[in-house]
Structure 1
Amino acid sequence: MSRTSSETPLSACLTPFSARIAGRTGPRAPVVAGLVLIAAGSLTPALGPASAPWAWRPRW
Structure 2
Amino acid sequence: MLKFLSGSSLSQAEHISIEFCLLIIVLLYHLLQILVLQLYFPVVRVNLKSFFDVNFGQIQVS
Greater RCO, CA 8 A, separation 6+: 2
TM-score by length of 2: 0.40
TM-score by length of 1: 0.41
